[in-house]
Structure 1
Amino acid sequence: MEKQKQVITNRVAFLDKKVPFYTSFLGIAGILVLWEIVSRIGIVSPLFLPAPSNIVITGWEMLVSGEIYGNLTASLYRIVLGYAIGAACGILIGLIIGFFRTADAIGTPIVYAIYPIPKIALLPLFILWLGIGELSKVTIIALGVFFPVVINTFSGVKSVDPMLVKAAVTFGSNRINVIRKVILPGALPMIFAGLKLAAGTSLLLLVSAEMIAAQEGIGSMVLHYGNLMITSKLMVGVLILSLLGLIFNRALRWLENKLIPWKE
């Protein structure tokens, strides 16, 4: 018996063991080193796969010349505004259709009917309706963010323990207080899962929209240098998009830890 307890204790200690903070960077560092070697010794032509060191040098030159600022500013404006609108609407609609039965009966079939449509396929239609300016691009990003958030919010609301809702109603809470103090906190883990998923979707739609109908932006820059076969500058754009995705993910994780401390 004592031996069995010791085995269980060791297993639990293994599960609780913290990983050093630098472990996350080891995989990336290994890939970069391998990439540099492959490019330097000529296994793959630098025209098709420039070395990471060359990409960094090119990126610094583009940063100093100011070429990156205009494209990055345009992309950040579109993605931040589109993401904020899509996320806010998704959370609101998800709470409504998750909590109210009539809204569920009306809204859920509509959401699941439109969700499978590739959102970028609607961009020409939005350009026709809203023009080729910023509004069509922001709208397509907001639409792409809306669906993962609304579906996850709806699922989060449905996963809340009904006994908690009944207890709140029994103690005299009205519907608004039940949503604010019981439903929303209980659904937050699923909401953040949707927000993280939507962050990746927003980047995909941003690049696609900028490649199709934009003169400025990281996606437009990537397409331009791809057409010119200037691979190093193309990869700078790809690197910027990767960093944006990483920053969004870290920001959402930080916000999640602040709003859902009990999840840890």
Structure 2
Amino acid sequence: MEVKAEKKTGKTGVNGSPKNSPGSMLLRLLSVFIVLHVLWGLIAALLQRDMLPSPLVVYRALLELDGGEMLLNIGTSMGRVFAGIALALIVGLLSGLLMGRSPRWNKLLDPVVYLTYPIPKIALLPVAMLFLGLGEASKIVMIALILVFQVIISVRDGVKAIPANTYDVLTSLGAGRMAKFTQITLPGALSSILSTIRISLGTAFSVLFFTEIYGTEHGMGYFIMDAWLRLDYPGMYAGILLFSGVGFLLFVLVDLFEHRFMKWRA
């Protein structure tokens, strides 16, 4: 009875609610949000500079933004991000599965991955623009380059980490290759993919910001830089807040996807 009581106490908070419940998570996020805004307000009050307006000024500017224009900017940026992620997942998943399941392909592709992975991808932005132009293709390819190598390595290692006897169990039940792939290989790879996407999203957004400075009239990166050049600091910070909010929503979507399709990791 004592052991059971200890286990139950370890899973719940002081008030008896689960420590990892949505309500508890929301409370922690709200607390951090308030603390950051208090610090922001204090620093703005101490500096008294136009370049750092107070939170109230920025949120007033946020409410005054053109809704249609901002939806176009956000939609353009999200289209580029999703296209880049999709391209990286297609190439990375196929390559990682091939390397994880085939020692021959792993020996062939391993040196290629390890020689090209350390190259700073942002340095390839001028090269991508020279070959692909200033349009959508170069922006999407740059985002894909940020993600694809991490996806390949994570999927390969995730597939390799699956014990061989796990497949033997399904083999003894008469399962075919497709059943083994959907029941064992894909869940093992999916776990690595979600972790990689969660880690790489911040870098992908940074690259997106740089790519949207050139050759475009829409996108959150373009909007923020345009406001900066016009010395519209409240508008610039309002754009940064929107950009950050979109990134936060993508993190939440990844968590929801994991909760929906990978309940076994709970």
- TM-score range relative to shorter protein: 0.7 to 0.9
SS in structure 2 of the partner of residue 48 of structure 1? coil
Distance 1:38 1:110 in 2: 48
Distance 2:50 2:12 in 1: 47
Alignment partner for residue 57 of structure 2, among 29, 42, 54? 54
Query: Which residue in 1 is equivalent to 2:170?
Result: 168
Contact 2:154 2:192 in 1 (8 A): yes
Which segments of 5 or more consecutive residues in structure 1 lack a partner in the other structure?
none
Letter in 1 for 2:36: I
Which segments of 5 or more consecutive residues in structure 2 lack a partner in the other structure?
none
How many equivalent residue pairs?
257
Deviation at 1:135, TM superposition (A): 0.8
User: Deviation per CA, 1:60-100, whole angstroms, max 9, x where unpaired?
Assistant: 11134x43233222212211111122122212221111111
Letter in 2 for 1:30: V
Deviation at 1:171, TM superposition (A): 4.2
Contact 2:134 2:214 in 1 (8 A): no
SS in structure 2 of the partner of residue 67 of structure 1? helix
Letter in 2 for 1:35: W
Query: Which residue in 2 is equivalent to 1:68?
Result: 70
Query: Which residue in 2 is equivalent to 1:110?
Result: 112
Query: What is the TM-score of this pair, normalised by structure 2?
Result: 0.87
Query: Which residue in 2 is equivalent to 1:13?
Result: 9
Distance 1:140 1:210 in 2: 11
Contact 1:149 1:198 in 2 (8 A): no
Contact 1:203 1:245 in 2 (8 A): yes
Residue pairs, 1:168-207, within 5 angstroms: 168-207=170-209
Query: What is the TM-score of this pair, normalised by structure 1?
Result: 0.88
Instruction: Indicate how the Cα distance of structure 1 residues 208 and 25 shifts in structure 2: closer, same or farther if over 3 A, else same.
Output: same
Percent of residue pairs identical: 26
Distance 1:62 1:46 in 2: 22
SS in structure 2 of the partner of residue 211 of structure 1? coil
Superposition RMSD on alpha carbons, in Å?
Answer: 2.2
Letter in 2 for 1:47: D
Instruction: Note if 1:43 corresponds to 2:39.
Output: no
Query: Which residue in 2 is equivalent to 1:253?
Result: 255
Query: Which residue in 2 is equivalent to 1:125?
Result: 127
Letter in 1 for 2:85: Y
